[in-house]
Amino acid sequence: MADSVSDKEKESSKQNEKEQDTAGKKSPASKTGSAKGSRAGSPQKSPKGSREGTDKGRSTPSKRVPDGVVPIFLSSKTQEIFHCRADEDVSEENPFKIITKEEIIEDMKLRAAVCDFHPVKQQIIDYPTDEILVVYDCDFKYGQNFYVALTEEAKEKLLNPGGEDGEGGEGAEPEDEIVYKYIPPEPKEWVSQGSEKEIKEESVVENRRRIKVSVKRIRKEFGAPYRFQDRNVSDAKDGYIECLPYDDRTFELKKIELDKSIQSVPEIVEMSSQTDWKYPRNANTQYVPREFTQKEKEEIENSKNYQAFLENVTPRFKLALQQNEIMDVFYIDWKHLGDAEGDFGNKSDNHLKEYQSFTDLQFSKDKRITCIQWHPTVKGVVAVSVGEKMTFDDRIDHAAKVIMTPSLILIWSFTDPIHPQLLLEAPDDIYSFQFSPSDPNIICGGCLNGQVVLWDISAHADRLKQPRGGNRGKKSNVLPGFEDPNALKTPIVRYCAVSSIEHSHRAAIADILWLPDHMEVNRMGVPQENKSMQSCQIMTCATDYSILVWDTRPPKGPQHQFTAKKDDHDQKNPMGIPTTFKHLDLVWKPMLKVHLHKSEPGGDHSPTKFSIQEKQGNREALSKATDGQDMSKEAAMGGGYYTKPGSGKDKRTLQSVKTHFYVGTEDGEVVYVDWMPQKDQDTGKIQTPKPDFYHAIHDGRVNTVQRSPFFKDIVLCVGGWTFTIWKEGVTTGPILQSAAGSVRMSSGHWSPSRPGVFFISKDDGTVDVWDILDKTHEPTLSQSITSAPITQLYPFPVSQKQHLLAVGDDAGTLHILEIPWSLRQPTPNEITGVSNYFEREVKRRTFVVQRWDFREHEKREIEAEQKRKAGIAPNVVLSDEEIEFRLKQEYQQYVDEETAFLRELGILKEEDEPLPET
């Protein structure tokens, strides 16, 4: 291509360049990138800049072409080469483009006759200067889309259309030279707008102690000579360790805390409308109301119709003004309706009042309260368990201190807020415990190491019923000098039985429950009647993916060994430990294990809380399962707890007892599973079935799963920053879910007297009281109780006129609060109102699920329609009848093949057809 340019042309271009250098005078036109350079325009190319053909690219000029100007058609390729694309680099407002002569000549060399500047090749070579002006002709007034100035005079006229006599020409008067004077800036007082806070937040500040790493080495090894050499791993035994991938169930991903910032900006959207574009021009509009003339106004004011109208409406105006003076017509009565709390007391009474607080400087200070339980029968007695505020690594580092520190349950009484009445000693920190519903002197607890512990406080029952020092009157006949010095000291009760460590949980027991006294569970998980009417079975759960059922009765042995007389029962062994459960100590193991499998791979569920449907005292299931026989005589002969379990043939199965129960997990999931083991279809083993459903609703560990005391199918779950309310039978999700709060929720509990009220504790020391009949988007009452995080709370009706709320915090203090009348007294028909509310929420949930299915079906129909229009055959959708017919055919085919196979093996024998009856 370069050979197409003759040597003569090269010499001519070089000669012109030399003339330009000697001239030393540049064009006054601005180059590319100056004020008259290219400017970005619309993202779409104009149709005028494209060459659709030879005839379409040329048109008849509408004006005479000036001297020195030649119209030229530039194709889109040429426009792209010289950066003069129509409506992008050049436009109607800025049509000028300066192109160097060297670039044009180089393009001629490369493309020869294909170059759009080839028709004016000689004029460009003969051009005196190095900058050539190309002008964009958007209206094709000269017949082409561009025109080029081939002389300096034409170039000056196009850049300065004013002419010689116009503004900017040679004949214009010289302008006065403006002299600018420099004035130094004066500093002003700095006004803070908050930027220094942002700078301070972005700066790195040490907010924790630095991590110390201790590396030990034998002193004689320092400075020893060393020499490295290659070693073959196969030369020595166990020379290398192969790290194979495996499923790590304890894997925990830790993310680095990062400071990031985002800014919400609207997305760029390309839109178009079919409107005619008009040339923009400056314009303004002022609206003036139309008015009558002065003459017309006077005529209307003097007319009889106008005066009659005023006389008619004047009374109505006066009445409206009087009403505005008498009352506020815009007052909304609905928002100010009276409620039940206004009948008794005032607003100042509607808050939790501090009633009592308990703390022990020796045993509970700087410890965390892990569980709270009120005594079932003795009023004013509450028990709490405390634990160390240590992580797993801290416990290992301070193992000696942890071993030497006793793990206790403190039993407090309102009569003595300083000293606890009893101290129950445990082998490790207790995370959950409960009084037996049949005998409150029996207490079960779950330890941090996974063991189950039993206490018997029958010997100290009188101490709890009487105030401190009440035993003095009985010992008043003791001779002087023979008094018991330990009479006023707090006794420490040692546990009388602990489970076998090999058969216990592999993690801390998070929840424990006594089964109701009217039922028991056999080894297959079948609920049966308990003829002794004494609670004898315990359910526990831990984060080792399992829930265990324990039986406190001896598995076998003569009955008289465990049914001693009352006098013998009071006797203690030399260590002072009751022998009530001596048969269980260190050999106790569970009778039923419920393993929480997941429906998909990736680990199992780690339970933290659970709730069964059967409640203590509700014996409807027992009445349905028995035939009305009197069981009091059998209960008297059974011997209470401590008899061996009777034969399963003598017990009736409780068909109405629901074996499905709710479980909350460590990952914030709510699981609904059956505890009865079933035969697995794949492996043939008898194991716990997979959950019926589970939902990952909560954004943290579930710390509360509790059924409503008024509705056995309503369950409250608290975990993370949210709480949910579930209804048994609704599998699509909770019927009520709160918005995520700003503070983590630590515990929750239903009100024992009001169906629609429950309490929520938070980590900032606040207790929220929710009334779902009043508000569902925010708590009815939110009150700060303590500065430390609250760990547990438990409301309890001491009497009909007094309800107390026990709140335990992270500092080891137990706060007793008095619940106001408005939060303990149910409103009229509250149970009906709450029941109707739950029914409405169930219908709403059903409607939402239906809309989801409808939208999914609608989406599939739209996709099928689009495929049909595109010519793609959609999948054939069978009706329900067709699907059922095909399944029946497949099943019948399988039965026929199975029958033929058994007949070939000789297992199936043909039976003779019976004779017809006569």
Predicted confidence (pLDDT) per residue in 584-600, tens digit: 989 999 999 999 988 77
Dist. CA 447–CA 407, nearest whole Å:
9
Rg of the chain taking only CA atoms, in angstroms: 47
Dist. CA 626–CA 321, nearest whole Å:
78
Contact 1, 109 (CB under 8 A): yes
Shortest CA distance to 580 belongs to which of 502, 636, 513, 640?
640
SS3 (DSSP) at 834:
helix
pLDDT at 129 over 90: no
Q: How confident is the model at residue 649 (pLDDT cuts 50, 70, 90)?
A: low
Dist. CA 193–CA 758, nearest whole Å:
45
Q: What are phi and psi of 109, to 5 degrees?
A: -65, -35
Exposed, middle or buried by CB within 10 Å (0-12, 13-18, 19+), for 468?
Answer: middle
Exposed, middle or buried by CB within 10 Å (0-12, 13-18, 19+), for 29?
Answer: middle
User: How much is the average pLDDT of 308-321?
Assistant: 92
Contact 660, 691 (CB under 8 A): no
Dist. CA 725–CA 748, nearest whole Å:
12
What integer pLDDT is reported at residue 468 of this predicted model? 57
Direct distance between the N- and C-terminal alpha carbons of the chain, in angstroms, rounded to an integer:
115
What integer pLDDT is reported at residue 92 of this predicted model? 83
- CB neighbours of 45 closer than 8 A, spacing ≥ 6? 76, 85, 86, 87, 88
Shortest CA distance to 159 belongs to which of 34, 272, 4?
34
Shortest CA distance to 493 belongs to which of 584, 429, 416, 425?
425
pLDDT at 56 over 80: no
SS3 (DSSP) at 528:
strand
pLDDT at 683 over 80: no
Q: What are phi and psi of 106, to 5 degrees?
A: -65, -40
Residue indicated by tokens 């009778």: 591
- CB neighbours of 774 closer than 8 A, spacing ≥ 6? 756, 780
DSSP string, 668-697: SEEEEEE-S-EE-TTT--EEPPPPSEEEE-
Between 571 and 708, the higher pLDDT residue: 708
353-358 vs 368-374, strand pairing mode: unpaired
Dist. CA 167–CA 368, nearest whole Å:
90
What integer pLDDT is reported at residue 348 of this predicted model? 54
Between 4 and 794, the higher pLDDT residue: 794
pLDDT at 863 over 50: yes
CA distances, 574 to each of 443, 458, 579, 581, 728 (Å):
22, 17, 11, 16, 52
519-521 vs 509-514, strand pairing mode: unpaired
pLDDT, tens digit, 9 for 90 and up, residues 207-264: 888 899 998 888 888 888 888 888 777 777 777 777 888 777 777 777 778 888 787 7
CA atoms within 13 A on the CB side of 722: 17
What tokens does 394 get? 């801290």
What tokens does 561 get? 């060994």
pLDDT at 342 over 70: no
User: How much is the average pLDDT of 535-548?
Assistant: 94
What integer pLDDT is reported at residue 371 of this predicted model? 95
What tokens does 237 get? 């035994």
CA angle 317, 322, 324 (to 5 degrees): 95
pLDDT, tens digit, 9 for 90 and up, residues 361-401: 888 888 999 999 999 999 999 999 999 988 888 888 888 88
Could you tell me if residue 637 is left (phi over 0), alpha (psi between -120 and 50 degrees) or otherwise beta? alpha
Pick from 275-279, 525-529, 720-724, 893-897 the range whose average pLDDT is largest: 720-724
- Note the helical H segments in 186-262: 195-202
pLDDT, tens digit, 9 for 90 and up, residues 499-518: 999 999 999 999 999 999 98
The neighbour count for residue 633, using CB atoms within 10 Å, is 9
Q: How confident is the model at residue 792 (pLDDT cuts 50, 70, 90)?
A: very high
What tokens does 686 get? 């008898």
Q: How confident is the model at residue 488 (pLDDT cuts 50, 70, 90)?
A: low
Contact 382, 372 (CB under 8 A): yes
CA distances, 500 to each of 453, 505, 606 (Å):
10, 10, 22
Q: How confident is the model at residue 473 (pLDDT cuts 50, 70, 90)?
A: very low
pLDDT, tens digit, 9 for 90 and up, residues 281-302: 788 887 788 889 999 999 999 9
Q: Please report, rounded to a whole number, the percentage of residues in the chain having pLDDT higher than 70.
A: 81
Dist. CA 392–CA 381, nearest whole Å:
33
pLDDT at 746 over 60: yes
Q: How confident is the model at residue 330 (pLDDT cuts 50, 70, 90)?
A: confident
707 has which bridge partners? 715
SS3 (DSSP) at 897:
helix
What integer pLDDT is reported at residue 813 of this predicted model? 93
The neighbour count for residue 606, using CB atoms within 10 Å, is 23
pLDDT, tens digit, 9 for 90 and up, residues 812-849: 999 999 999 989 888 888 999 999 999 999 999 999 99
User: How much is the average pLDDT of 647-673?
Assistant: 86
Pick from 612-621, 751-760, 885-894 the range whose average pLDDT is largest: 751-760
Residue indicated by tokens 């199992």: 604
pLDDT at 79 over 60: yes
User: How much is the average pLDDT of 60-67?
Assistant: 70
What tokens does 548 get? 């265990």
pLDDT at 660 over 60: yes
pLDDT at 171 over 50: no
Q: How confident is the model at residue 191 (pLDDT cuts 50, 70, 90)?
A: confident
User: How much is the average pLDDT of 174-199?
Assistant: 81
pLDDT at 267 over 80: yes
What tokens does 239 get? 């020379």
817 CA to centre of own chain: 32
Q: What is the pTM of this model?
A: 0.57
pLDDT at 152 over 80: yes
User: How much is the average pLDDT of 857-884?
Assistant: 79
Contact 45, 149 (CB under 8 A): no
Shortest CA distance to 411 belongs to which of 460, 342, 449?
460
Which residue spans within 342-486 are E strands per DSSP?
A: 353-358, 368-374, 381-387, 407-413, 422-426, 430-435, 442-447, 452-456
Amino acid at 233: V
Q: How confident is the model at residue 54 (pLDDT cuts 50, 70, 90)?
A: very low
Burial of 424-460, coded b for 16+ CB within 10 Å and e otherwise, reads bebebbbbbbbbbbbbbbbbbbbbbbbbbbbbbbbeb
The two counts, helices (H) then strands (E), for the chain are 17, 37
Amino acid at 527: P
Between 569 and 189, the higher pLDDT residue: 189
Dist. CA 97–CA 30, nearest whole Å:
9
Shortest CA distance to 719 belongs to which of 702, 737, 706, 707?
702
Q: How confident is the model at residue 751 (pLDDT cuts 50, 70, 90)?
A: very high
Average model confidence (pLDDT) across the chain:
80
The neighbour count for residue 584, using CB atoms within 10 Å, is 22
Q: What are phi and psi of 396, to 5 degrees?
A: -70, -40
Q: How confident is the model at residue 652 (pLDDT cuts 50, 70, 90)?
A: confident
Helix axes 7-23, 101-111, angle to 10 degrees: 170
